[in-house]
């Protein structure tokens, strides 16, 4: 009976947290719209939709990216728009997601794959570091793997130790991979589009706490150019260098 009471309390607490999060998300989106802005998550969803509309070679695949719309809503409604042949829910196997995406890229498609959390890189590191990163060099530049591998990183959402790490340095120290970690919604739009133009695999890491941040989207003027640092504020006494959140 004591266990049942404890489980009931945990259930109520978790339900309350989910309802509060849902209410907060709706409030943030409403406030952003009133200011003429869009949230980070909205920008991702709209950009992915537009990219898939522009290029039939683009497919999206990963755990819960189709029917559920992604863990943070970034792929919401894509299944309705493009169907199950292009928006693909995969089994719970990170190695299979990366390996299948790489194979699709080698045959001419442009996959946008998603690992639900960057922490799961460990279970697919052979595919990422030994296969995906090296395929162009193993074939002397005759074949490329033009794909994006998305993942959510960082802490701040009480997700537990195995869902809260920042592992981008693994990618930075792996030759053959590009890495992008956008900060603003405008960054997310332009860097995602830029990543698809690169005929090399790009790892795209999104901080969890940025999904509900909002900002102005300027499709013609990127805040940040792929591969170059953006000066947010000019000064003469001190340099502070950072990225993402």
- Pairing outcome for strands 214-215 and 38-39: antiparallel
94 counts as catalytic: yes
Please give the pLDDT value at position 4: 57
Catalytic residue among 42, 94, 114, 168: 94
With tokens 């000064």, the residue in question is: 235
Please give the pLDDT value at position 149: 97
Please give the pLDDT value at position 162: 86
Output the CA angle 130-135-137, nearest 5 degrees: 105
> Splitting the chain (245 residues) into consecutive groups of 10 residues, what average pLDDT does each group show?
57 57 53 70 90 95 94 90 96 96 96 95 95 94 94 86 91 94 90 90 94 88 79 90 87
Please give the pLDDT value at position 87: 97
Cα separations in angstroms, 2 against 7, 10, 104, 154, 245: 9, 12, 52, 36, 42
Beta strands in the chain, from DSSP E residues, in sequence order: 38-39, 58-62, 87-89, 110-115, 148-153, 178-180, 202-207, 214-215
Please give the pLDDT value at position 19: 52
Please give the pLDDT value at position 44: 86
Which pair of tokens denotes residue 181? 């970690």
Catalytic residue among 42, 63, 114, 163: 163
Please give the pLDDT value at position 244: 87
| pTM score | 0.84
């Amino acid at each position: 009976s004591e266990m049942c009471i404890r489980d009931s309390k945990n259930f109520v607490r978790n339900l309350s947290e989910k309802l509060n999060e849902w209410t907060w998300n709706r409030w943030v989106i409403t406030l952003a719209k009133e200011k003429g802005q869009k949230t980070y998550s909205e920008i991702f969803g709209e950009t992915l939709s537009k990219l898939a509309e522009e290029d039939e070679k683009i497919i999206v695949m990963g755990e819960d990216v189709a029917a559920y719309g992604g863990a943070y809503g970034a792929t919401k409604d894509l299944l309705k728009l493009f169907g199950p042949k292009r928006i693909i829910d995969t089994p719970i196997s990170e190695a299979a997601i990366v390996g299948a995406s790489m194979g699709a890229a080698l045959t001419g498609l442009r996959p946008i794959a998603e690992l639900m959390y960057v922490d799961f890189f460990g279970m697919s590191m052979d595919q990422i570091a030994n296969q995906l990163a090296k395929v162009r060099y193993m074939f002397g530049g005759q074949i490329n793997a033009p794909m994006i591998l998305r993942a959510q990183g960082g802490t701040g959402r009480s997700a537990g130790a195995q869902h809260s790490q920042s592992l981008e340095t693994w990618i930075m120290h792996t030759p053959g991979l590009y890495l992008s970690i956008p900060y603003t919604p405008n960054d997310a739009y332009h860097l995602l589009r830029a990543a698809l133009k690169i005929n090399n695999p790009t790892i795209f890491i999104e901080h969890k706490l940025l999904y509900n941040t909002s900002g102005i989207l300027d499709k013609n003027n990127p805040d940040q150019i792929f591969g170059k640092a953006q000066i947010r504020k000019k000064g003469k006494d001190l340099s502070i260098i950072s990225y993402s959140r």
